[in-house]
Amino acid sequence: MSAAVDAVVDAVANVQLADAKPRAHDQVITPWEVQGSVAADGKQEGIDYDKLISQFGTRRIDNALLERFERLTGQRPHVFLRRGMFFSHREFDKILDRYEQGKPFFLYTGRGPSSDSMHLGHMVPFVFTKWLQDVFECPVVIQLTDDEKFLFKHELKPEQTKQFSRQNAKDIIACGFNLDKTFIFSNYEYMGGMFYQNVSKISRQITYNQVKATFGFNESDNIGKIHFASIQAAPSFSNSFPHIFGAVSNIPCLIPCAIDQDPYFRLARDIAQKLKYQKPTLIHSKFFPALQGPQTKMSASDPNSSIFMTDKPNQIKKKINAHGFSGGRETEEEHRRLGGDTEVDVAYQYLTFFLDDDEELAKLGEDYRSGTLLTGQPQGKMYFPIAERRTAISEELVDSFMSAQRQISPSCGRAQAQAAPAAVEATV
């Protein structure tokens, strides 16, 4: 009897221990979960991106690649490339080959509309894709996976996720995409035609075993989830967009996305070969750090972890002060004497991604580290032209970007002459 009581006491003690200190584990990166590893002493670590590159089998974006990019396009690499926000790729070099040869390609990115406002982390691929569109003068397709969010989040209804799609489209449009070369679509609205035909072709090439291995599904998961990979893969293939590419199926795409989306497109690359389509190429970003620090990413479901596009400047300042992981010292006196730590200061980290001026950033960093710039001051430099522009986006403009009833030219800047006739031929 006493032994049994002891066992219960032990068990309770162990439960409490387990609750008090997170168990040690490796980092977990899937399309639904991003968590840095936890060390044996319970310490939460940052994401190890080098490990991800070797684990996923991607390639690092190195200086040679950036130099070639600059040589070919005549454009200085974007701050996200210079400062390593986009750090990894799959065959980005092949897209540069095509650019050099004047052959067409397109950009594909997307978003799962889980709420009606996007946060700073969500904007990273769009800000970057818009910039790539300006450089390459190429078509862009943007998938809003309102069906996926409905399938994965039991509290949501299709009416809601469709509404989120439209609201998110405004944030995206506010990045400055070229209407003449950009098609934004909601899966609920666009599903059908050649797009659906590609979805079914892709789904015939993927077994339950493969999605189980890739995404960790189990037998209690719904068949919508299990099938969804086919829908995310379909925009990788140019003939999913007859109003842009006609029936041409051999124009490859470049997908700017966060590294956690890579499993979807690894599958898509396998399938491309089987369907005799072009493999999608990828350029991967790091996760945008949460206010609480770089061990996880901003999450829309935790409002305190994120700065939203709809937040007003004074709200942003308050959030950073209240929830932002600070590199400052306990007191002003101590800060002035010892200086702040830019390595961990979240506001400073955000500036490294959004402040294009290298000199200004260097000066800010120096001042902060030396103690002349106080805690709470770096975020004064954060400004959000996108958020300002967003309020001016009309419903009519959203309709225009989301219309599949218009013809979009498949041409790229250098590829204008070659691309147009090919697409015209194919639509005959």
Question: Using CB under 8 A as the criterion, which residues of the chain lie in contact with a second copy when the complex forms?
Answer: 147, 150-151, 154, 158, 188-193, 196-197, 200-201, 203-209, 211-212, 217-224, 226-227, 229-230
What whole-number distance in Å separates Cα of residue 425 and Cα of residue 248? Answer: 9
CB of residue 200 to a second copy, shortest distance in Å:
5
CB of residue 38 to a second copy, shortest distance in Å:
31
Which stretch of DSSP H or E encloses residue 34? strand 33-35
Contact 278, 252 (CB under 8 A): yes
Q: Which is nearer to a second copy, 94 or 227 (CB)?
A: 227
Of 408, 396, 389, the residue nearest 166 (C-alpha): 396
Q: Which is nearer to a second copy, 274 or 363 (CB)?
A: 274
DSSP, res 308:
B
CB of residue 358 to a second copy, shortest distance in Å:
47
CB of residue 230 to a second copy, shortest distance in Å:
6
Q: Which is nearer to a second copy, 147 or 311 (CB)?
A: 147
CB of residue 228 to a second copy, shortest distance in Å:
9
CA 305 to chain centre: 16
Q: Which is nearer to a second copy, 338 or 404 (CB)?
A: 404
Tokens for 153, please give them.
């989040």
CB of residue 151 to a second copy, shortest distance in Å:
5
Q: Which is nearer to a second copy, 227 or 389 (CB)?
A: 227
Q: Which is nearer to a second copy, 222 or 315 (CB)?
A: 222
DSSP sequence for 320-379:
HHHHS---S-SSHHHHHHH---TTT-HHHHHHHHH---HHHHHHHHHHHHHTSSPTT-GG
Beta bridge partners of 144: 111, 186
What whole-number distance in Å separates Cα of residue 398 and Cα of residue 125? Answer: 19
- Ramachandran angles phi, psi of 377, nearest 5°: -85, -35
Tokens for 2, please give them.
């006493």
Contact 410, 248 (CB under 8 A): yes
CB of residue 181 to a second copy, shortest distance in Å:
24
Q: Which is nearer to a second copy, 178 or 197 (CB)?
A: 197
Tokens for 106, please give them.
């397109």
